[in-house]
Amino acid sequence: MSKVIAHSLFTEFDINLFKLGKHYRLYEKFGSHIMTVNGVQGTYFAVWAPSAKSVSVIGDFNFWNEEEHPLNVRWDASGIWEGFIPEVGKGSIYKYKIHSHHNDITTEKADPYARRYEHPPKTASIVWEDAYNWKDAKWMQKRKKHNAINAPFSVYEVHLGSWKRKIEEDRSLSYFELADELVAYVKKMNFTHVELMPIMEYPYDPSWGYQLTGYFAPTSRFGYPEEFKLLVDKLHQNDIGILLDWVPSHFPEDAHGLGFFDGSCLYEHPDKRKGYHPDWKSLIFNYGRNEVKSFLISNAIFWLDQYHADGLRVDAVASMLFLDYSREDGEWEPNIYGGRENLEAITFMKELNEEIYQSFPDVQTIAEESTSFPMVSKPTFMGGLGFGMKWMMGWMHDTLLYMGKEPIHRRHHQNDLTFSMTYGFTENFLLPLSHDEVVYGKRSIIGRMPGDEWQKFANLRLLYSYMFTHPGTNLLFMGGEFGQHDEWNFQGSLDWHLLQYDYHSGVQQLVTDLNKLYKTSPALYEKQFDADGFEWISYDDHENSVITYIRKGSKEKDILVVACNFTPVPREEYRIGLSVKGVLKQVFNSDDKKYGGTGDFKSSKIKIESKEYHYRNYSAKIKIPPLGTVVFEINS
């Protein structure tokens, strides 16, 4: 085997950008790259290890002998070690062996920029490149004209390992199989997007993927990188977008990972008050270190660029924003102004969103953020963090609390249901019923509903109908769409056998139809983040536990009237005030027999009367089914 040949992909410009924290395509330089140098084919390696006194590539091609292939350190004090190794090619397994200046510590690390890793529990990197031929040009062109701010955005959240399993083989579906089965299912259900819980390589299954070690590689659990690209491609070919969960908030301490990489705190903050997460027993990135910012922003760009992702849902933003997150007094240090905000993390998030929207203006970044931190989804030029959307955690908490109460008690808690509209347009909100709501003893969504079996399912249908007609975009975790009884189990499969029962298949049909209603009704999406798109008819009918409201699109004719009855008592002549003449035509009823409802409270066309009510000039009497939602359009 030939020795290392001096070679570099870095220009002086690259190095300067890297040091300044402004190089956002580092994956084109760092890592392993198959190439030909001086007529010889092999692989170029580059790794950042400024505290190292030596770095070697060890692997199956040199019997893991560190003497065979030592890398060369650059002369420019960048801390980059690099070199070209002839005859090493695709599929070669490797790590970096690093001897540190710090107490002669030695580490063996996977490549932070590797495009593929061994299947866990193995931990080495694999030299890889693929020549995938994308077929999603039509989608990518359509995406440029598609603005999620005023277009349908309904998300199906999926954990790939447990969505569906091959029971007889006791395994998850592969990327290749998911490209058929998952794509067909999501298309049938009328969701506009799939959100995948982290698919970047991770060592520990019970982390659900939120403890990453391979930031630039799709997990090998389900197949090759190009097979994951096939899954993305097939989604796009079927007009379905894909969002990836992304975790820049923390990373695990596994020996082969980023922690203590070159014998020093290279990626993590050296002060444990800023660099260690007590809840997750993990390390926190040093957002004030320029090279680390370049690493993280390059990683976000990588998935949008190389894998055609349509957006990133950024995990645990609240933990990044605040220095005292999950810490007691004395366990954190205020910022230079005496406050609790993590100024370095805030700067990082602003730069992240600015770069993403400059390079990919047609994607979305979505913040999982649970506090009242202001302007999360406002542009940075306005002083915001620059995210496209923010999870509406308050709506989720209050609504599930309300729906869990027996209907007889709901009259005393109507404010829990309506409070969301007091702040509903301060951010671009996405309404989430995510995986976090169906684990750790919280019960499934159907399991939270009170009453007998009929009432439980009627409540669930009511909840989803209210959710899909509430302003904002929405997200539903897998299994919720057919009323899975059990809590989510990452080691098992969804209980698909439940679909043989009418109540479960009925909920599935309801979600399918709600998605269709949402996608085809401008009143529900054109002004979903705009106060002009919503108007209460009545929010204070506590005694009947009924709320009524109007959703409006850009055109005057695009109006929907929504009525929700949160008790099992039908309201057969319920008068609502309206501002226009015409006829109410029912377009949706959650009590329809095909959904498992009674089917007894249908409304034909209802003439709007010239009778004042709810401080409006006109009104109409409508039927609202027990524990049901009805939606009407207004025809002239």
Catalytic residue among 14, 227, 315, 633: 315
Give, in degrees to the nearest 5, the angle at Cα 539 between 535 and 541: 145
DSSP 8-class letter at 224: -
Q: Which two tokens stand for residue 378?
A: 């406002």
CA-CA-CA-CA torsion for 539, 541, 544, 547, nearest 10 degrees? Answer: -20
Compute the distance between CA of residue 384 and CA of residue 382 in angstroms, rounded to an integer: 6
Compute the distance between CA of residue 312 and CA of residue 330 in angstroms, rounded to an integer: 34
Indicate if 60 belongs to the active site: no
Task: Determine whether 471 is exposed, middle or buried from the number of CB atoms within 10 Å of its CB (0-12, 13-18, 19+).
Answer: buried
3-state secondary structure of 455: helix
Return phi, psi of residue 275, to 5°: -110, 0
3-state secondary structure of 195: strand
Q: Strands of 80-86's sheet, edge to edge? A: 31-37, 40-48, 80-86, 72-73
Residue with tokens 């390589």: 201
Of the candidates 41, 56, 42, 46, the one whose C-alpha atom is nearest the C-alpha of residue 26 is: 46
Indicate if 368 belongs to the active site: yes
Return phi, psi of residue 59, to 5°: -175, -175
Compute the distance between CA of residue 69 and CA of residue 87 in angstroms, rounded to an integer: 12
Catalytic residue among 14, 226, 310, 368: 368
Q: Which helix (H) or strand (E) holds 467?
A: helix 453-469
Compute the distance between CA of residue 171 and CA of residue 161 in angstroms, rounded to an integer: 8
Give, in degrees to the nearest 5, the angle at Cα 41 between 35 and 42: 70
Contact 297, 386 (CB under 8 A): no
Compute the distance between CA of residue 450 and CA of residue 439 in angstroms, rounded to an integer: 19
Q: Which two tokens stand for residue 613?
A: 């009510």
Active site amino acids: 315, 368
